Chains A and B, each alone.
Chain A
Amino acid sequence: MNLQQVKTAATTPAKNSQPVVELHDVSVAFDSLVVLEHVNLEVQPGQFVAIIGPNGAGKTTLLRVILGLLRPQTGTVRVFGKEPWDLGEDRQRIGYVPQVLTVDLKFPVTAGEVVLMGRYGRIGLFRRPSKQDVAKAKEAMARVGVDHLWDKHFGHLSGGQRQRVLLARALVNDPDLLILDEPTTGVDVTATETVYSLLRHFHEQGMTIIVVSHDVGVVATFVDTVACVNRKLVAHGRPEEVLGSEELAQMYGCDVAFFHHGRVPHMVVKPAPEEMEEEEVDF
């Protein structure tokens, strides 16, 4: 019953002993609402981890803890061996791709400026971006194939283009750890596969990647570890171990529906029954 005891049989061996991310007994509550409870999680260098779980399971909260945006009430968090709200220069080693829907589309900003903003922490206060910063931004956009969009208004881009621009912003500092929150929301299938192919490519180059998603199927074919979160860390292990388990469905609501359309076997975490009608699955 206790899948938590399944060892993290990472396909990628750790290059050194220090995990990139360590959460020990982390609990987060907003007033009386407990969002995360006693979560333990380790991410080793070079691992490609998917955090899955139903809506409202605390996935985004978990990311916010790792990013240092939120301090847990109990437990310890370490990123690169430091507290994530006090990372100093190591902050630039993290690339973060937020949910694309959270970005203000009416703001007067070009795609190139959005990517350049990823450098602002490194550039420092009072200084203007240098030619080198602009070159890094263009290079990051080229890596994900959106360099031709440099001068375009961010709000005029398609969902898939916007997602890749945000990915470019996360890549602009050559991060060691890449964190993505629902990178395929509001994006069509082709764009989804483009994003994951890019992620696989970065993974092969040794980047550590954590991706939050409710789209289990796409995730399962790319990642080496799945962590299922529903307030607690329900299961943690290789995709076939975690996703093949009956216990997830029964115990914790990480119920997985399988589909076999298209090139990629497609699974989603089933929403609660009353939400089923709204959650249209399309391919």
Chain B
Amino acid sequence: MEILTYAFMQRALLSGTLIGILCATVGVYVVLRGMSFIGAGIAHASFGGVAIGFFLGINPLLSAVVFCLLVAWGIAGVARTGQVKEDTAVGVFFASTMALGILIIGLMKGYNVELFSYLFGSILAVTPTDVWLTVAISAGILGTVALLYKELEFITFDAEMAQVVGLPVTPLYFLLLTLIALTVVVSIKVVGIVLVSALIVTPAAAAWQLTYRFHVMMILSMVFGAVSTIGGLLISYWLNTASGATIVILATLIFFLAFLFSPKRERPWWRFAE
């Protein structure tokens, strides 16, 4: 356990645990509402935001926050007109913002190693400032979810009915996208742009296999998210593997276990072939 005495490891574990819980929390809404592609789209858009930050010489997480929020709201705004389907809007923004990032990198001289650590995540990259940013944003997101728990559940379950009973469905939808965008941005340093959407979707998907209750799904998802990030970080340290990839593989293992032993299965997996 001497690894816990390293300051960088303490920072990574604290950030990682919070990120695991955050991703798993918004993941419940993403999975139940069938918005996995939005999570992936916003994650890839953050690459453009990070690149802009490097180009302008400001904190890349800051520029990524602004950029991801604009993209998330842009997707929602375009989709709400009804002229373009939501997944089409994501598809358009997703590729174009990634392209923008690549263009901007091309404009910069030299090869930026740090920028590429955002793509795949690195525990060494977590600075004390990042930890405070993660703590603050986590508190904001988890607090918002706690305050609007019943409303977010309702619009995820049945948005039309939520509107009929008088909930402000459109602002809540934009708020949900905002929460997803902020979660993505605080997560990319540890797990990386390419893998963050897996950390959003997989723990929630695993939790859904095991319960018929919303709040149980929420708690299980948070536990799976935290276990995946803490376990993944420790394993990646011992085996000297990439942290983001190790976390996601561990989360996926949990998902498959949940899938195989799900009480919802009509027949057990060992009789699947019959």
The total of interchain contacts (Cβ-Cβ below 8 angstroms) comes to 72
Q: Which residues of B approach A to under 8 Å, CB–CB?
A: 32, 147-148, 150-151, 153-154, 156-158, 160-168, 208, 211-214, 216-217
Shortest Cβ distance from residue A175 to the other chain B in the assembled complex, whole angstroms: 11
Interface contacts beyond A91-B166, A92-B166: sample of 16 additional A-B pairs, CB < 8 Å, sorted by A = A92-B165, A96-B164, A98-B161, A102-B158, A104-B157, A108-B208, A108-B212, A108-B213, A110-B213, A117-B162, A118-B165, A120-B150, A120-B151, A125-B148, A129-B150, A169-B161
The tally of residues in A whose CB lies under 8 Å from a CB in B reads 31
Interface-centre pick from B150, B153, B160, B213 (highest chain A CB count, 10 A): B150
Cα–Cα, bound, A107→B167 (Å): 19
* Chain B residues closer than 8 Å to A29, beta-carbon distance: none
Shortest Cβ distance from residue B220 to the other chain A in the assembled complex, whole angstroms: 10
Shortest Cβ distance from residue A52 to the other chain B in the assembled complex, whole angstroms: 22
- With contacts A69-B164, A104-B158 known, is A128 near B217, CB below 8 A? no
* Interface residues of B, dominant DSSP: helix
For A147-159 the 0/1 string (1 means CB < 8 A from B) is 0000001011000
User: Which residues of A in the span 101-146 have a Cβ within 8 Å of any Cβ on B?
Assistant: 102-104, 107-110, 113, 117-123, 125-126, 128-129
Cα–Cα, bound, A153→B240 (Å): 45
Shortest Cβ distance from residue B247 to the other chain A in the assembled complex, whole angstroms: 25
- With contacts A103-B158, A125-B148 known, is A110 near B164, CB below 8 A? no
Shortest Cβ distance from residue A204 to the other chain B in the assembled complex, whole angstroms: 25
Does residue A234 face the partner (Cβ distance < 8 Å to B)? no
* Chain B residues closer than 8 Å to A156, beta-carbon distance: 212
- With contacts A125-B148, A125-B151 known, is A98 near B165, CB below 8 A? no
Minimum-distance CB pairs A-B, first 9: A121-B166, A121-B165, A153-B212, A91-B166, A96-B164, A108-B214, A126-B147, A107-B157, A108-B217
Docked-complex contact A113 and B165, CB < 8 angstroms: no
Docked-complex contact A117 and B154, CB < 8 angstroms: yes
Shortest Cβ distance from residue A30 to the other chain B in the assembled complex, whole angstroms: 9
Cα–Cα, bound, A153→B158 (Å): 16
Docked-complex contact B161 and A96, CB < 8 angstroms: yes
